[in-house]
Every structure is written in C-alpha cells, then in structure tokens.
Amino acid sequence: MAEPKRVAFDAVDFLAKAGLGRRIVQLNPRETFFSQGHPASCIFYLQSGRAKLTVVSTNGKEATITLLADGDFVGEESLATVGGRRLATATAITACTALKIEREEMVRVMHEEHAFSDLFLKFLLTRSMRTQADLVDQLFNSSEKRLARILLLMAEFGMPGEPEPLIPQITQETLAEMIGTTRSRVSFFMNRFRKLGLIEYNGRIRVHKSLLNVILHDQLPEQNAEQPVTIVDTPPGQSRPGRRA
C-alpha cells in the first residue's frame, strides 16, 4: 500500500495561522511583547503593525535600537539557549497583530522544514546588514542625515512595493534616542525638513521622496535664518499650542 503523499510545507501559511505551539496575539499601542531581563521562551512574528526594540542601561538610561515592521521576527535570542533572558524590550508603537511561537515549536519547524529555515536565515542576514548600516550611520553621518535615514526607513523607501509616505506616529524623544541626539535637535531638523518641503507634519509625518537627496547627494538648501518653530508632541486630535503655519 502506497504511503500518503506529504503535503508541501507553506511557510507563509504557517506564519499566518495559529496552531500547535503558536497562537495569534493582539497588542495595543505601548503594550509590550516582552521586557528586558525576563525569561526568553518564545519568538514573535509581526503580522501587522509597528513596534520598537529598546534597551535600558544599568544607570536607567533608555535607548531605542531598532524599529520593527510587519514581516519581522522579534525575540530570536530565545533560540540561543534554554533558560536565557531577554536582551531588550519590544513595545508596540501602533496596534499590532503577531504570531507567538513557543521555542520548542520554532526549533522543530526550523529542523524539519528547509523552506522555513531559509526564510528565517534570510531575515537574520537582513537584520545583520541593517545593524551594520546603523553602526556606520552613527559613526560617520551627521545627526541630520541620521534623522533623514530613519524617516525614510519608516516610510519604507527603497524597499519592495510602494513606499508608505505617511509613517506611524512616533515621538521626537524616540527619534532622538535612535539617532543619538537631543529632542531639541530633532525638533530643529524636523522643522527644517518641513520648511524645505521634504516632509509634512500634522499629527503624523508624511515623508516626500525628495528627502532621499539628503542621504544620497547631500543636497540640502541653505537654512533660512529664521528660528524654526518647536513641534510639540501631542496626542492625535489635540491642537499644538503656539504652532505656526
């Protein structure tokens, strides 16, 4: 009697549905996937939404080390060793839907399904390249160029598919943490970009493709001598006191 034909493994389907050792979770903005120092027993696959990865030093200083979008894995340190601890905190920026995969199930599918192993390895290599690019950016570029790069990455310019010029809400404090400068400098640069028509800022940031010139060609017109107005981060729907057009 012939053995039943094995159904081909579908990595996309696996990451889209709940099943043995995995379940779909919903997070509201500011909710955490996991916290730094907690046991690392699972990995998350972000199906939709935006999140950030932050670390806190021993003296209490917090820094945002990367932003996460749909299609990203987070918490992969759980695969390194049993009983390990989280190296960072993952927090939702927008409403997020994610697949929570237990460590044992993640290890099993990586060993048994080459298609999934290839997909996960590609993700790890892409993240490694992004981390290297971030390091080079911090070492050699001005804080203004670093801010332009972060805004373009959040808008997904240069990535497959159509760019998303209207990026998720993000505070100037978070942007300052990511580029290694102060909130006041971020406010200065944001106003400069806005006056030059590179971005629009009205509750959320809309990025124009012309901002690429700051990164690729160092083309930035001379700044108007007028002192830029400070942008104050406020919740959606509330007015910004003192804001000028």
CATH code of the domain covering residue 204? 1.10.10.10
Show which of 100, 116, 132 is a domain's final residue: 116
Is the distance from CB of 202 to CB of 173 less than 8 angstroms? no
Q: Are residues 77 and 21 in the same domain?
A: yes
Q: What whole-number distance in Å separates Cα of residue 108 and Cα of residue 90?
A: 24
| Residue 156 clears pLDDT 90, i.e. is over it | no
Domain-embedded: residue 16: yes
Q: What is the pLDDT of residue 236?
A: 44
* pLDDT, the chain, mean: 83
**E strand or H helix at 115:** helix 114-140
Q: Three-class SS of residue 102?
A: strand
Q: What are phi and psi for residue 36, nearest 5 degrees?
A: -55, 135
| Residue 28 clears pLDDT 90, i.e. is over it | yes
Q: How many CA atoms lie within 13 A of 16 on its CB side?
A: 5
Show which of 71, 97, 116 is a domain's final residue: 116
Q: What is the pLDDT of residue 46?
A: 97
Q: Are residues 41 and 92 in the same domain?
A: yes
Amino acid at 60: G
Show which of 116, 139, 171 is a domain's final residue: 116
Amino acid at 169: Q
* Domain that residue 134 falls in: 124-245
- What's the CATH number where 20 sits? 2.60.120.10
Q: What are phi and psi for residue 211, nearest 5 degrees?
A: -65, -20
Domain-embedded: residue 88: yes
Is the distance from CB of 55 to CB of 87 less than 8 angstroms? yes
Domain count, the chain: 2
| Residue 149 clears pLDDT 80, i.e. is over it | yes
Strand-pair partners of 77: none
Report for 1-10, 99-108, 152-161, 180-189: range of highest mean pLDDT: 99-108
Q: Are residues 108 and 128 in the same domain?
A: no
Q: Are residues 53 and 143 in the same domain?
A: no
Domain-embedded: residue 5: no
Is the whole model's pTM more than 0.95, yes or no?
no
Q: Are residues 210 and 94 in the same domain?
A: no
Structure tokens at 15: 């990451």
Domain-embedded: residue 4: no
